[in-house]
Chains A and B, each alone.
Chain A
Amino acid sequence: MLTFTEEILLLLLDDEDGSFAPIPKSTLSCAIAGAVLMDLAFANRIDTDPEALVVSDPTPTGTPMLDTTLAKIAAHEPGSDTRTWIRVLSVEDSPGIREQALESLVARGIVTRREERVLWAFRARRYPTIDGNVEQEVKLRIGEVLHSDEIPHPRDVALIGLVDACDLLRDIFPGTDIERLRPRVDQLRQMDLIGRELAGAITDIEHTVTMALSGAPY
């Protein structure tokens, strides 16, 4: 089974050219931070409520990209809430986590790594898909939950929160009237407390950027 971090990166990559969907860098960083926290929560290493995020079991999971984050949270004074951790991890750890998750997707034979030169000067790394079945399965799962009124699996709820935070639904389901699905999406993404805080963290950052650009006080 893929981690949430691997799943969201896979959905963000263009199958053909292996580039990332054009979303703001801060959104991508927050989504990766949120995904790692979801992975730790589903591995029963951290737990959350609307007020706090706590380490419930500091035992390493065996997945290096998760264990680095787990150790970091465990070493920190308890009391910080989920949104604070999303902000901290998005700034300090997301790039490293992203690289590790992409390497894992390469090692699993789902994507391949390709170095390219852009404008004859800059080097860019691309990750085109070589095994589309895994991604197709993920999309199918999301589609089934969104297009029905069935009680969702907690993993699907969390993933939909990540996907919606990255504004990926239109890319995943081209030709679908996403606004018609909006009430269901909003209902589901509220159900995972980390996903809920992820949306809030992204909104906070967008607000800060808007205020900074307008010159208004925060």
Chain B
Amino acid sequence: MEVTTERQNGVLSALVSGRVDSTNAREFEEQIRHAIEDDDRAVIMDFEQLAYISSAGLRAVLMTAKNLWRREATFALCALPDVVREVFEVSGFDKIITIHPSREEALAAVEG
């Protein structure tokens, strides 16, 4: 699992690659938490290169969403591969967390 971040106008984009499961879910959550700065108004997780996510990974995403919700920052996911999207749909996470088809659309929505 690797997380690559970049920031533009207070929007943190995090490209997540590899697998997120119980072996690294805590590390994943910590990396995202440390990457977020106080004046970030939105966080976008780009899952284009995510190969697999388990229940432990979903919990890490949910905790990130919860922390951002508390500080009234926007949180969205984008570019989910089919196998990952299926897990988000089965678990109903797609009803609670906004998912965009691409990072460009996610950024546009955040800016809009």
- Interface residue ranges, A against B (CB under 8 Å): 41, 44, 46-50, 56-57, 150-154, 157, 187, 190-194, 196
**Alpha-carbon gap, A41 to B60, bound state (A):** 13
Given contacts A151-B66, A154-B63, A192-B55, contact A50 B21 (CB under 8 A): no
**What 7 A-B pairs have minimum CB-CB distances, sorted nearest first?**
A47-B22, A190-B92, A56-B22, A154-B59, A151-B66, A151-B69, A48-B55
B-side interface residues, number (CB < 8 Å): 25
**Contact in complex: A56, B59 (CB < 8 Å):** no
**Alpha-carbon gap, A5 to B53, bound state (A):** 26
Chain A positions within 8 Å of B90 at CB level? 50, 190, 193, 196
**Alpha-carbon gap, A57 to B56, bound state (A):** 13
B4 at the interface (CB under 8 A from A): no
**Alpha-carbon gap, A169 to B109, bound state (A):** 38
8 Å CB interface, B71-112 against A: 86-87, 90-93, 95-96
- Interface residue ranges, B against A (CB under 8 Å): 21-23, 25-26, 52-56, 58-59, 62-63, 65-66, 69, 86-87, 90-93, 95-96
Q: Which residue of B lies closest to A194 (CB)?
A: B55
**Contact in complex: B91, A191 (CB < 8 Å):** yes
A-B contact pairs, 22 of them (CB 8 A): A41-B55, A41-B56, A47-B22, A47-B56, A49-B55, A49-B87, A50-B90, A56-B22, A56-B23, A56-B56, A57-B22, A150-B69, A151-B66, A151-B96, A153-B62, A154-B59, A187-B92, A187-B95, A191-B92, A191-B93, A191-B96, A194-B55
Chain A positions within 8 Å of B54 at CB level? 47-49
Chain B positions within 8 Å of A154 at CB level? 59, 62-63
Chain B positions within 8 Å of A46 at CB level? 22
Given contacts A47-B55, A49-B55, A154-B63, contact A190 B91 (CB under 8 A): yes
Given A41-B55, A153-B62, A154-B62, 11 new contacts (CB under 8 A): A44-B26, A47-B21, A49-B54, A151-B62, A187-B92, A187-B95, A190-B90, A190-B91, A191-B58, A191-B96, A193-B55
